[in-house]
Amino acid sequence: MYTIGQVANITKLSVPTLRYYDEQGLLANIKRNEQGNRVFDDSDLEALNLIDCLKRTGLTIKEIRDFIILCKKGNDSLHERLDFFLMQEKTINEKINQLKKSLSLIKFKEWYYQTAIEHGDEAYVANMNEADIPDVQKRNYIKGHTK
Amino acid sequence: MYTIGQVANITKLSVPTLRYYDEQGLLANIKRNEQGNRVFDDSDLEALNLIDCLKRTGLTIKEIRDFIILCKKGNDSLHERLDFFLMQEKTINEKINQLKKSLSLIKFKEWYYQTAIEHGDEAYVANMNEADIPDVQKRNYIKGHTK
DNA sequence: ATTTGACCTCAAGTTAACTTGATGGTAAAA
DNA sequence: TTTTACCATCAAGTTAACTTGAGGTCAAAT
């Protein structure tokens, strides 16, 4: 059993953010004590962890709420919920691939500036003959560029 | 040489977005023709590709502009620019790792719902003895949870 | 006994990143 | 020649996800 302040400490979310998530229907089964204060338990922490995960995949709060609503429907929505996670898996993999492409471009830039620094002049690299660009860097560059 | 409409088609950004980027100083060296229309060239497309890459790493437009300003300083800022990209590399790697953790949780959920569907009842999985959860799934679950 | 600190609600404010709308210029097609 | 299709600017509107502020309750410490 945790107070909202303790949960804020654990999750590194602000207290108003937690209240906001609750308002938005993301924390379906939060209890209240006699004074009307929110009382969180471990299942709520799990829910918050899932919310964090889904936000990372790019879902909006509205979309996360839609999933919570699905959960409340019980056994009837098991297939839908499985499909939901299969979709998220696809999305995450796409995101990872995009980030890997971005990483290639970043590494090309690192090589570019390292070489520029070595020669004390950016123009040296900028005007470099394509044949003189190391294959790895060329690959990085191309990868970062296409698609 | 491309018109703003052509660039919108190539980059899949909207025409107003391109104008907005220009306003915000993200497209430093865009030319104009006699009628005052923007004329993009390949270096501008490269710039847009970098912008896309930096946005993916989580940079704001303001932060991207700061980098552009750095570029305009010429050879004096080579070190700073290299450091900038080294930082971005770190950020991207962290993002990829976080996404991989999220993927683990997603896969646990997939196993969870697949098992629930097989037994026609979510309660079967939800109340399952921890010893009966396959090691792989347990690992996924834990990984998704810690940190 | 009152001050402190953590909780509450509700309404309003903020910020980023665009988008939309109003208005107008030029140029090629109908 | 007038309609269509892009281009332009400028101001205002939108949306998401919070954050901030005002005003109030309650329990424990000073």
Tens-digit pLDDT profile for residues A81-118:
999 999 999 999 999 999 999 999 999 999 999 999 99
pLDDT at site B145: 42
Question: pLDDT tens digit string along B56-109?
Answer: 999 999 999 999 999 999 999 999 999 999 999 999 999 999 999 999 999 999
- Residue whose pair of structure tokens reads 């993200």 in the numeric block: B26
pLDDT value, residue B37: 98
Q: What pLDDT is stored for residue B105 in this prediction?
A: 96
* Interchain CB contact of B85 with A (< 8 Å): yes
Interchain pair B92, A114: CB under 8 A? no
Q: What percent of chain A has pLDDT over 70?
A: 91
Question: Could you tell me if A108 and A72 are in contact, meaning their C-beta atoms sit under 8 angstroms apart?
Answer: no
A136 vs B: CB within 8 A: no
The per-residue pLDDT for A129 is: 83
B26 CA from D3 C1′ (Å): 36
φ, ψ of residue B3 in degrees (nearest 5) = -80, 170
Q: pLDDT band at B129, cuts 50/70/90? A: confident
Q: For residue B75, say whether its CB is under 7 Å from any atom of strand C.
A: no
Q: Is the pLDDT of residue A141 over 70?
A: no
What is the structure's pLDDT at B140?
55
Q: How confident is the model at residue A34 (pLDDT cuts 50, 70, 90)?
A: very high
Are B130 and B138 a contacting pair, CB within 8 Å?
A: yes
Q: Is the pTM of this model over 0.75?
A: yes
Q: From the C1' of C17, which residue's alpha carbon is nearest?
A: B61
| Whole-number Å distance between alpha carbons of B17 and B90 | 28
Band (pLDDT 50/70/90 cuts) for residue B143 is very low
Q: Is residue A115 classed as helix, strand or coil in its secondary structure?
A: helix
How many angstroms separate the CA of A2 from the C1' of D30?
Answer: 27
Would you call B105 an interface residue with chain A, using a CB distance cutoff of 8 Å? yes
Torsion sign (Cα): A81, B101, B54, A108:
negative
Q: How far is CA B112 from the centre of its chain?
A: 29
Nearest residue to B12 (alpha-carbon basis) of B46, B44, B48: B48
Q: So what's the pLDDT on residue B147?
A: 26
Residues 29-68 of A with CB under 7 A from strand D: 35, 55, 60-62
Q: Please, what is the Cα angle at B44 between B41 and B50, to 5 degrees?
A: 150
| Owner of token pair 């929110």 | A38
- Per-residue model confidence (pLDDT) at position B134: 76
**Looking at the predicted structure, is the pLDDT value of residue B142 above 60?**
no
pLDDT digits (tens, 9 = 90+) for B10-61: 999 999 999 999 999 999 989 999 999 999 999 999 999 999 999 999 999 9
A128 CB within 8 Å of a chain B CB: no
pLDDT in tens, A47-72: 999 999 999 999 999 999 999 999 99
The single-letter DSSP state of residue A36 is: S
Least confident of A135-144, B41-50, B125-134: A135-144
Q: Are B57 and B92 in contact (CB under 8 A)?
A: yes
